[in-house]
Amino acid sequence: MKYFIKRTGFMALTLFAVCALTFFLMNVIPGGTAELILKHTFVGLEESVTEEQLSQISSRYNLDDPLYLQFFRWIREAFVTGDIGTSYVFKKPVLYLLALRLPATIQLAGTSMALAAVAGVSLGIYSALQENRTSDHILRIITLFGVSMPGFWVALILILIFSLKLKLVPVLGYGSLENLLLPAAALSLHSAAAVMRVTRTSMLETLGQEYIRFAKAKGLPIWRIISRHAFKNAMLPVVTVIGFQMGSLLGGTVVIEKIFAWPGIGSLLVDSISARDLPVVQGCVLAIVTMFLLVNFLVDILYTRLDPRIRYG
Amino acid sequence: MKKKNYPLLILLVTLLSYAMLVTSGCSSTKGNETGEVVSEPNNTLVLGEMWDIESINPINGDGTLICEKAAITETLVGASEDFSLNPGLATSWKQLDENTWEFKLKNNVTFHDGSKMTAKDVKFTLEKVISENSKVASMLKVDSIEVVDNYTLKIKTKEINPILPGVLHYPDTAIISPSTYNEKGEFVKPVGTGPYKFESFDDQTRTLTVVKNENWWGGKVGLDKMIIKGIPDPNTRAMAIENGEVDFTVDVPYSETDRIDALDGINVEKFKTPRVYKLDLNLKHEPLEDVRVRQAMSYAINRSEIAENVLYNVGEAAAGPFLPTMVWANKSLKPYNQNLEKANELLTAAGWVDTDGDGIRDKDGKPLKLNFMTYSARPGLPPMAEAMAAQLKEAGIDVETEVMEMGSIDDRKEKGNWDLYLAAYNIAMVPDPEYILTNWYTTNGTDNTPGYSNPKVDSLITEARKITDLKERYKKFNDVEAIVYDEQPMIIVAYYGCAIVKKDSVKGYVFDPTAHDYRINADMYLEK
C-alpha cells in the first residue's frame, strides 16, 4: 500500500515535469506562436500576418505575458477548475477534444498491443521450440522484416493488399471492427516482432535450465512443461518489453492515424504542434504520458506476481 | 503458490480481451453508421477533402470549406473564369465617392432558417467578420456600414479601397444569418443561403454532412446530400477513390494521376488554380543583389521540365505572378526558357567564374553557394526544390536544399540568414491585381520577402490605386509586371495545379479557377 502511494506520487511528479517541459519546449522551438496560430487558423500557411493581427491574437490568448506566468496560470486553472484550456484551432475545450479523440487512440493502441502480445508470445514460443529448424528461420526472417519496415509503408502496403486487391476491408472509416483491423495490424507489426524476438530468446534460455531437464526426465508432456514450468519464468523480460512497446505504439499512432484518417490524439498532436495550439499539445502529451505510466505501473505489479522473489518496499 | 498465480493470468487475459471488447462494443453501436452510408439514396456524394476539418465557423477562417466546398454560404460578389467580378448575392455595386460604396442586394434570397436575406443581415455578417477576423478586416478597411433600405447598403471605408468588391468575393465574407449564433452570441452552426444546407458535423470523425436546399434562389440543386470527410494523406485519398469509398477527391499524389485516370470508372482532370510556385531571393545577400545573377538563375531553371517531370503536369510553367487567363494579366510575358549560354554570359559579366575547376563558380575566392529552404505541406515543393538545385548546379551555382517546418522558416526569414525560399503563394485571395502587386513588390509590402525596392514600381502602384477605370488601372499593373519580369526579385517557377479526381458517375462538375482550392457547383449530380 505504501508502495502504491509512493508510486502514485512519482507518477504525479512525472506528469508535472512533462507538462512543464512540454510548455517551455513549445515556446523555445523557432517561430512565433501567435504568428503560427494565425497561419493555421485565419490567413493560410503562406500568407504574411500584420502587426494588428499579431497583437489581436496575442492579447486574446495572453501570449505576451512572461512564460512562467502563462504556465502558472495554466497549472492553476488545471488544478482549481480542472480546465486545461481551450484549443486555439478547434475553438473547443481541450478536455472535450480529448474525450472525443482518446477512445479512438486507446482502441487502436490497445488492440495493437493485444495483437502484439498474443502473436509475439505464441510465435516466440513456437519459434523457440522449433529452434534452428526451417520454420524457425522463416519466422526470424519475418520478424527482422517486421522490426525494420517503417510503419507508414507497411500501412500503405496493407491497404493495397487487403482493400484494393482483396476487397476485404475498407480503406477509411472509424467505428467498426473491419475499420480497426488494418491500422491495428500495421501498428502492431513492429511491436509483435520485438515481443517475439524477446520471447524466443528468453524461452530458449529457460528451456536450457536444469529444472526443465528434470521435468522432461519426469516424463511430462512438452505442453505441460511449457505451460507449468517454463512459461512463467520466461515471461519476465517479455512483460518488460511489452510495457516499453506501449511507448512505441503510442508514437506509432501519430503516423498511422494520419494515414487512415483515424480520429485519435496522435494526429491531433502533430497538427497542434505545427499550429502551436499549445493547450491541445499539453492535453495530448498529458494523456499519452498518463497511458504510458499506467501501463508500466501495471507491468511492475505483474512482476511481483510472476516472480514472487520481487517485492516492492 | 501456483494457485495464487492463476487469478493473475486470468487478469492478464481479461485485460487483453478488454481491448477486444472495446472494439466490438464500438462496432455494434456504430456499425449502423457505416451501414447507413451504403444504403443512402443514390444521389449522395462522398467527398474526400484534402485538409482535416477542424472547425466549421464560416467567418473565422473556415470560409473556404463552408462557402466553396460545402456550398452552404455565398458571397456578395462572384467572379467569372477570367477573374472579373460579377454579381453574387449583390446585384450591383458602385462607388459613390472616394470612400463610399453602394451595394444593391438580390431580393429573392432566403436563408436556410427560412428568413429573408436583407441589408440588415449583410451588415450583421460584415460587422461580425470584421470584429473576429483581422485578416478580412485589414483587407476591407471598413469605417461604417449603413442600411439604406431592405436591399441597399452603403459601405464607407477608412481610406480609398478599390479592391473592396473583390474582398467581398473572399469566402470568409460570405453572408450568414444571425441564427448562426445563439442568444449568448456563441457559434452554433453555419446558416447561409447556398445550394446546400448544413445537416450535421461529427466532432469525432470530423465529417461534415450537408443536404439539398430545396428553396435555393438559384434553382435546381444536383445532389440530395454530400458527406465531406477530411483525408489529409494524398496516398490515402488515392486509395479511397480507387476502392470506391469516395466519389470525388482532389490532389492524389501527382505521380499517380495518370495511373488513376487510366482506371475504369475514375477520371482525373488537371486545372490551374490561382496560386504560383515562387522562389524568393534574398536581395540583401551579395550575389543575389546583382540583377544579372538573378536573371541568370531564371535562365538556368527549366520550368517546363519541372512542370512535366516533377508536377506531372499538375501545374504549368509560369511567366509572371498572374495566370494568363486573368483579365488583368500582362499577356505579352512568356516564361523564361532554360538557356545555359545566356546564364553563363550573365554570371561571367557579374564576375562569377569557375576559376578552380570544381564546377562551382567563384568570385574573390568565394564560391557561389546558396541555401534553399522550403516546406512539405504542399507535396510539389520538396521535389521541385531538388530539381531546381540540380538545374542551378548545371549553371555553376551550388545550392543546398532544406525542407523545414513553417516556424523555422519564419524564424530564418526574420533573422535574414537565408538565400532562397520556395513557396506556393496564393495570387488571387482577392480577385484584383493590386493586392498581390502591393504586397509582393512595393518597398514596404507585407509579403515582400526578398526586400525588393524600386521607386518606379512603388509609384506605378500608388497611381493605379486612384484610377477607377479598369483598363487604365490594369495598364499600370502590366507595366509593373514587365519591370519585375526583367528584374526577377522573385523567380516565378510554375502555376499551381489542382488534380480533380472523380468517378465517372459524377456529372456536371465545372471547375472554378477563382476558388481557393476548388469549388463544388450546385449543378453537380450523380448519375445512377
Tell me what the mean pLDDT of segment B141-149 comes to.
94
- Give the model's pLDDT for residue A313: 58
**Contact between A167 and B243 using a beta-carbon 8 Å cutoff:** yes
- Give the model's pLDDT for residue B13: 56
Mutation pick from B410, B438, B442 vs chain A, by most beta carbons of A within 10 Å, is: B410
Strands (E), B342-487: 362-363, 366-367, 369-374, 398-403, 420-426
Q: What cell does B331 get?
A: 499577356
Is the pLDDT score of A261 beyond 60?
Answer: yes
**Contact between A175 and B425 using a beta-carbon 8 Å cutoff:** no
- Give the model's pLDDT for residue A310: 75
Residue of A53, A101, A180 with shortest CB distance to B134: A53
| B131 has a chain A CB within 8 A of its CB | no
State which residue of chain A sits closest to B236, comparing Cα positions: A259
Q: What is this structure's pTM?
A: 0.83
Side-chain-facing half-sphere of B493: CA atoms under 13 Å: 33
**Contact between B239 and A45 using a beta-carbon 8 Å cutoff:** no
3-class DSSP state for residue A173? coil
Per-residue model confidence as pLDDT tens digits over B475-510: 999 999 999 999 999 999 999 999 999 999 999 999
State which residue of chain A sits closest to B439, comparing Cα positions: A48
Q: What cell does A244 get?
A: 516499453
At position B28, the amino acid (one-letter code) is S
Is the pLDDT score of B25 beyond 50?
Answer: no
Is the pLDDT score of A119 beyond 50?
Answer: yes
Chain B residues near residue A177 by CB distance under 8 angstroms? 23-24, 26-27
- Are the beta carbons of B430 and B169 closer than 8 angstroms? yes
| A247 has a chain B CB within 8 A of its CB | no
Q: Which of residues 138-157 of B touch A (CB under 8 A)?
A: 138
Residue of A107, A156, A274 with shortest CB distance to B23: A107
Q: Is B358 exposed, middle or buried (0-12, 13-18, 19+ CB in 10 A)?
A: exposed
| A102 has a chain B CB within 8 A of its CB | no
Is the pLDDT score of B313 beyond 60?
Answer: yes
| B332 has a chain A CB within 8 A of its CB | no
Could you give the angle at which helices B340-349 and B291-300 cross, rounded to 10 degrees?
A: 160
Chain B residues near residue A35 by CB distance under 8 angstroms? 410
- Give the model's pLDDT for residue B39: 45
**Contact between A258 and B1 using a beta-carbon 8 Å cutoff:** no
Mutation pick from A36, A38, A39, A48 vs chain B, by most beta carbons of B within 10 Å, is: A48
At position B515, the amino acid (one-letter code) is A
Mutation pick from B9, B134, B266 vs chain A, by most beta carbons of A within 10 Å, is: B134
- Are the beta carbons of B398 and B321 closer than 8 angstroms? no
| B447 has a chain A CB within 8 A of its CB | yes
**Contact between B235 and A30 using a beta-carbon 8 Å cutoff:** no
**Contact between B138 and A52 using a beta-carbon 8 Å cutoff:** yes
Q: Is B280 exposed, middle or buried (0-12, 13-18, 19+ CB in 10 A)?
A: buried
Min distance A50 CA to chain B CA atoms (Å): 7
Per-residue model confidence as pLDDT tens digits over B57-67: 888 778 899 99
Per-residue model confidence as pLDDT tens digits over A19-50: 889 888 888 887 778 888 888 777 777 777 77
| B233 has a chain A CB within 8 A of its CB | yes
DSSP assignment of B473-514 equals HHHHHHHHHHHHHHH-SEEEEEEEEEEEEEETTEE-----TT
At position A277, the amino acid (one-letter code) is D
Min distance A185 CA to chain B CA atoms (Å): 13
Q: Which residues have a Cβ under 8 Å from the Cβ of A242 and sit 6 or more positions away?
A: A113, A116, A117, A120, A191, A195, A299
Residue B30's pLDDT band, with cuts at 50, 70 and 90, is very low
Q: Where are the alpha helices (DSSP H) in chain A?
A: 2-28, 33-38, 51-60, 67-80, 94-129, 134-148, 151-158, 177-207, 210-218, 222-224, 231-259, 265-274, 278-306
Min distance B404 CA to chain A CA atoms (Å): 11
Q: What cell does B478 get?
A: 502590366
- Are the beta carbons of A31 and B408 closer than 8 angstroms? yes
Per-residue model confidence as pLDDT tens digits over A130-141: 888 888 899 889
Is the pLDDT score of B465 beyond 50?
Answer: yes
**Length of chain A (residues):** 313
- Give the model's pLDDT for residue B41: 58
Q: Which residues have a Cβ under 8 Å from the Cβ of A309 and sit 6 or more positions away?
A: none
| A224 has a chain B CB within 8 A of its CB | no
Q: What is the 3-state secondary structure (H, E, C) of B5-43?
A: HHHHHHHHHHHHHHHHHHHHHHHHHHHHHHHHHHHCCCC
Mean pLDDT of chain A: 86
Burial B416-435 (b: 16+ CB within 10 A, else e): eebbbbbbbbbbbbbbbbbb
Chain A residues near residue B375 by CB distance under 8 angstroms? 45
Is the pLDDT score of B213 beyond 70?
Answer: yes
Side-chain-facing half-sphere of B101: CA atoms under 13 Å: 25
Choose between B421 and B467: higher pLDDT: B421
**Contact between B30 and A30 using a beta-carbon 8 Å cutoff:** no
Is the pLDDT score of B35 beyond 60?
Answer: no
Strand partners, B503: B266
Q: What cell does B223 get?
A: 445532389
Q: Which residues have a Cβ under 8 Å from the Cβ of B486 and sit 6 or more positions away?
A: B291, B295
Choose between A4 and B302: higher pLDDT: B302
| B444 has a chain A CB within 8 A of its CB | no
- Are the beta carbons of A295 and B15 closer than 8 angstroms? no
Total beta-carbon pairs less than 8 A apart between chain A and chain B: 179
Backbone phi, psi, residue A147, to 5°: -75, -30
Is the pLDDT score of B16 beyond 70?
Answer: no
- Give the model's pLDDT for residue B1: 37
Q: Which residues have a Cβ under 8 Å from the Cβ of A6 and sit 6 or more positions away?
A: none
Q: What cell does B136 get?
A: 478580412
Of A178-182, B108-112, B153-157, B194-198, minimum mean pLDDT range: A178-182
Min distance B352 CA to chain A CA atoms (Å): 33
* Whole-Å CA distances, B431 to A13, A182, B173, B516: 55, 45, 14, 11
Chain B residues near residue A32 by CB distance under 8 angstroms? 407, 410
Could you give the angle at which helices A151-158 and A231-259 cross, rounded to 10 degrees?
A: 80
| A165 has a chain B CB within 8 A of its CB | no
Min distance A132 CA to chain B CA atoms (Å): 30
Chain A residues near residue B439 by CB distance under 8 angstroms? 48
Of A1-10, A304-313, B186-195, B500-509, minimum mean pLDDT range: A304-313
Q: How far apart are CA B319 and CA B330, in angstroms?
A: 9
pLDDT above 90 covers a percentage of chain B that reads 71
| A45 has a chain B CB within 8 A of its CB | yes
Is the pLDDT score of B387 beyond 70?
Answer: yes
Min distance B176 CA to chain A CA atoms (Å): 18
Q: How far apart are CA B199 and CA B227, in angstroms?
A: 10
Min distance A261 CA to chain B CA atoms (Å): 6
The conformation of residue B335, written as its DSSP 8-state character, comes to P
Q: Which of residues 335-394 of B touch A (CB under 8 A)?
A: 375, 377
- Give the model's pLDDT for residue B10: 53
Q: How far apart are CA A17 and CA A67, in angstroms?
A: 16
Backbone phi, psi, residue A281, to 5°: -60, -50
Q: Which residues have a Cβ under 8 Å from the Cβ of A127 and sit 6 or more positions away?
A: A135, A136, A139, A140, A196, A199, A200
| B135 has a chain A CB within 8 A of its CB | yes
Mutation pick from A172, A259, A295 vs chain B, by most beta carbons of B within 10 Å, is: A172
Of A87-96, B412-421, B449-458, minimum mean pLDDT range: A87-96
Is the pLDDT score of B523 beyond 80?
Answer: yes
Nearest one of B7, B148, B144, B172 to B76, comparing CA atoms: B172
| B24 has a chain A CB within 8 A of its CB | yes
